[in-house]
Structure 1
Amino acid sequence: MLLGCIGDDFTGSSDLANTLAKQGMRVTQYSGVPDQPADPVIEAGVVALKSRSVPVEQAVAQSLAALDWLRAQGCQQILFKYCSTFDSTPQGNIGPVAMALAEALAARRVVVCPAFPAAGRMVYQGHLFVHDRLLNESGMEHHPLNPMTDADIRRWLSLQTGAPVGHVPFAEMRQGAAAIATALARAEEQGTPLIVVDALSDSDLIEIGTALDGLPLVTGGSGIAMGLPGNFRRRGLLSGQGSAWQGHAGRCVVLSGSCSAATRGQIARHLEAGLPAREIRAEEAVAGRIDPAEIAAWSMAQEKRPLVFSSAAPDEVRRAQQAHGRERVAAAIEALFAAIAKALVAAGAGRLVVAGGETSGAVVEGLGLSALDIGPEIAPGAPALRAALPQGGHIALALKSGNFGGPDFFAEASAILRGV
Structure 2
Amino acid sequence: MIGVIADDVTGATDVAAALSREGLQTLLAFNAETSVTEDADAIVIGLKTRSIPVAEAVATSLVALRSLENAGATRFYFKYCSTFDSTDEGNIGPVTEALAEALGVSTVVTTPAAPIHGRTVNDGNLYVFDVPLHETHMAHHPITPMRDSNLARLLTPQSRGAVMTLPLSAARDGAVAVRATIAAAESAGVTQGSVSVTQVIADAVTAADLAIIAEATDDAVLTAGSAGLIGAIAERQAASGRTVSAPPAGRTAIIAGSCSRRTLEQIAAFESSGGLSHRVVAAPGQTAAQLAEAALTWWDEQPTDTSAMIYSSSSAEERNDELPEAGELYEQVAGIVANGLAHRGVQRMLVAGGETSGAVIRELGTTVAVVGDEAAVGAPWIHDVAGGVHLVLKSGNFGEVDMFTSLAGGASHD
TM-score by length of 2: 0.91
Instruction: Specify which of 302, 310, 329 is matched with residue 308 of structure 1.
Output: 310
Aligned to 2:336: 339
Counterpart amino acid of 1:309?
Y
CA distance in 2, matches of 1:117, 1:65: 31
CA distance in 2, matches of 1:298, 1:316: 22
What do residues 89-111 of structure 1 show as CA deviations (whole Å, max 9, x unaligned)?
22211111111111111211211
Instruction: Specify which of 207, 212, 223 is matched with residue 207 of structure 1.
Output: 212
CA distance in 1, matches of 2:406, 2:386: 24
CA distance in 1, matches of 2:342, 2:289: 21
Structure 1 window deviating more from structure 2 (296-305 vs 80-89): it is 296-305
Counterpart amino acid of 1:367?
L
Contact 1:285 1:333 (8 Å CA) reproduced: no
CA distance in 2, matches of 1:7, 1:183: 27
Map 1:17-416 → 2, pairs under 5 A? 17-39=16-38, 41-191=39-189, 193-233=198-238, 238-239=239-240, 241-281=241-281, 283=283, 287-288=287-288, 290-303=290-303, 304-317=306-319, 320=321, 323-325=322-324, 328-390=325-387, 394-415=388-409
- Note the C-alpha offset of 1:217: 0.8
Question: SS where residue 349 of structure 1 aligns?
Answer: coil
CA distance in 2, matches of 1:242, 1:207: 26
CA distance in 2, matches of 1:407, 1:73: 39
In structure 1, the gaps of 5 or more residues are none
Question: SS where residue 266 of structure 1 aligns?
Answer: helix
Distance 1:210 1:414, change over 3 A: farther
Q: CA RMSD in A?
A: 2.0
Counterpart amino acid of 1:398?
V
Distance 1:280 1:291, change over 3 A: closer
What do residues 295-342 of structure 1 show as CA deviations (whole Å, max 9, x unaligned)?
12322432342211122223445x63xx554xx433222111101111
Structure 1 window deviating more from structure 2 (329-338 vs 402-411): it is 329-338
- Note the C-alpha offset of 1:71: 1.2
- Note the C-alpha offset of 1:38: 2.6
In structure 2, the gaps of 5 or more residues are 190-196
- Note the C-alpha offset of 1:25: 1.2
Question: SS where residue 226 of structure 1 aligns?
Answer: helix
1:5 counterpart = 2:4: yes
What do residues 165-215 of structure 1 show as CA deviations (whole Å, max 9, x unaligned)?
110111122112221111111111111611110111111111111111121
- Note the C-alpha offset of 1:287: 4.8
Distance 1:154 1:345, change over 3 A: same
Contact 1:143 1:314 (8 Å CA) reproduced: no
What do residues 141-173 of structure 1 show as CA deviations (whole Å, max 9, x unaligned)?
122222211111111111212544110111122
Contact 2:289 2:336 (8 Å CA) reproduced: no
Distance 1:231 1:407, change over 3 A: closer
Counterpart amino acid of 1:412?
S
Counterpart amino acid of 2:223?
V
CA distance in 2, matches of 1:357, 1:273: 25
- Note the C-alpha offset of 1:61: 1.1
Distance 1:414 1:288, change over 3 A: closer
Counterpart amino acid of 1:365?
R
Taking only the aligned residue pairs, the percentage that are identical comes to: 36
Q: Which runs of 4+ in 1 moved over 6 A?
A: none
CA distance in 2, matches of 1:306, 1:249: 15
Distance 1:249 1:188, change over 3 A: same
Contact 2:4 2:79 (8 Å CA) reproduced: yes
Structure 1 window deviating more from structure 2 (195-204 vs 298-307): it is 298-307
CA distance in 2, matches of 1:282, 1:142: 24
CA distance in 2, matches of 1:415, 1:20: 27
Structure 1 window deviating more from structure 2 (117-126 vs 270-279): it is 270-279
Distance 1:282 1:174, change over 3 A: farther
Contact 2:282 2:291 (8 Å CA) reproduced: no
Question: SS where residue 88 of structure 2 aligns?
Answer: coil
Contact 1:300 1:347 (8 Å CA) reproduced: no
Contact 1:378 1:412 (8 Å CA) reproduced: no
Distance 1:203 1:166, change over 3 A: same
- Note the C-alpha offset of 1:411: 2.4
Contact 2:34 2:367 (8 Å CA) reproduced: no
Count of residue correspondences: 401
CA distance in 1, matches of 2:282, 2:6: 27
CA distance in 2, matches of 1:47, 1:351: 22
Structure 1 window deviating more from structure 2 (274-283 vs 112-121): it is 274-283
TM-score by length of 1: 0.90
Question: SS where residue 340 of structure 1 aligns?
Answer: helix
Contact 1:89 1:146 (8 Å CA) reproduced: yes
Contact 2:163 2:199 (8 Å CA) reproduced: yes
